[in-house]
């Protein structure tokens, strides 16, 4: 295990189950996590872009999406956090149930071969509605954020995490990310003034994310860009807040 501190971020190189096991109940106000979906998609079998070229080659030995987390992971996650936003929630409905709401990230991919978006499960303590965030992000290889290179196959944009914090977190909340990946969640939290614990078990991804986060923290603090407002759709079977 290794621990790094950058501002209000605590970064662990460890298995999240080992870290959560020793945590008290409800230590975090909000967990925003992106665990493996268990689709068997890895560095050597990611869909190429429309032209058939692989714009970025990832290490196929990582096997980062072989299995989805066991039910015990979700039990621990809900024990140590008050509320949760879980990306890939549609792959865990048999474990999580319906929850309280859904977030859809529309990637504005156009006619690409990739999925049009991703779905996140939202716990019942948060808003009981379907919300859509639209932000272009072309597949597993090209990031739309200016000057940002992709360091992880499932990297999500900082703008997405900032939007989630804006709409689902409250000032002073403590945030948990159990599958840290590229470190986008940390950058969003540092930019918006949230305390976060971030956990990643792969040493190569940890080192790459650590460098990315340190580079961000060393930059002059600039006014935050306004993230676009969500497009909301009401779910007929749920009560809107």
Question: What are the distances in angstroms from CA 238 to CA 83, 126, 135, 217?
Answer: 18, 13, 26, 41
pLDDT at 211 over 90: yes
Q: Count of domains in the chain? A: 1
Is 239 a domain residue? Answer: no
Is 238 a domain residue? Answer: no
Which has the closest alpha carbon to 30: 163, 177, 158?
177
Of residues 213 and 42, the one with the higher pLDDT is 213
Is 144 a domain residue? Answer: yes
pLDDT at 223: 61
Which position has the token pair 């792959």?
A: 91
- Beta-bridged to residue 198, according to DSSP, are 11, 177
DSSP state, 134?
E
pLDDT at 144 over 50: no
What does the DSSP assignment read for 140-198? TTB--STT----STT---HHHHHHHHHHH--TT-EEEESS-TT-HHHHHHHHHT-EEEE
pLDDT grade for 152, boundaries at 50, 70 and 90: confident
Is 137 a domain residue? Answer: yes
- Beta-bridged to residue 196, according to DSSP, are 9, 175
Tokens standing for residue 182? 């590229």
Of 37-41, 136-140, 142-146, 235-239, minimum mean pLDDT range: 235-239
pLDDT at 12: 98
Is 189 a domain residue? Answer: yes
Q: What is the mean pLDDT of residues 25-36?
A: 97
Is 81 a domain residue? Answer: yes
pLDDT at 235 over 70: no
Let me know how long the chain is.
241
pLDDT at 45: 46
pLDDT at 198: 98
Domain CATH code at residue 181: 3.40.50.150
CA angle 95/194/128 to nearest 5° reads 40
Q: What is the mean pLDDT of residues 11-30?
A: 97
Is 241 a domain residue? Answer: no
Q: What is the mean pLDDT of residues 84-92?
A: 94
Q: Which domain holds residue 162?
A: 2-233
């Amino acid at each position: 295990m290794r621990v790094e501190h950058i501002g209000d971020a605590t970064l662990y190189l460890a298995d999240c189950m080992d870290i959560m096991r020793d945590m008290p109940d409800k230590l975090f106000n909000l967990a925003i996590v992106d665990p493996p979906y268990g689709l068997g998609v890895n560095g050597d079998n990611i869909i190429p872009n429309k032209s058939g070229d692989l714009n970025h080659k990832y290490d196929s030995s990582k096997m980062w999406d072989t299995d989805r987390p066991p039910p015990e992971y979700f039990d621990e996650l809900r024990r140590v956090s008050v509320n949760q936003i879980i990306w890939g929630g549609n792959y865990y409905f048999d474990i999580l149930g319906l929850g309280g709401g859904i977030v859809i990230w529309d990637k504005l991919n156009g006619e690409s071969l990739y999925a049009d978006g991703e779905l996140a499960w939202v716990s019942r303590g948060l808003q009981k509605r379907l919300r859509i965030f639209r932000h272009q992000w072309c597949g597993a290889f090209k990031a739309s954020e200016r000057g940002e290179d992709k360091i992880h196959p499932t990297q999500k944009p900082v703008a997405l995490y900032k939007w989630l914090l804006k709409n689902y977190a409250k000032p002073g909340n403590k945030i948990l990310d159990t599958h840290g990946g590229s470190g986008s969640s940390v950058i969003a939290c540092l930019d918006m003034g949230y305390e976060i614990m971030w956990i990643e078990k792969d040493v190569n991804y940890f080192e790459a994310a650590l460098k990315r986060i340190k580079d961000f923290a060393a930059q002059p603090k600039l006014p935050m860009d306004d993230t676009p407002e969500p497009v909301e759709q009401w779910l007929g079977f749920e009560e809107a807040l």
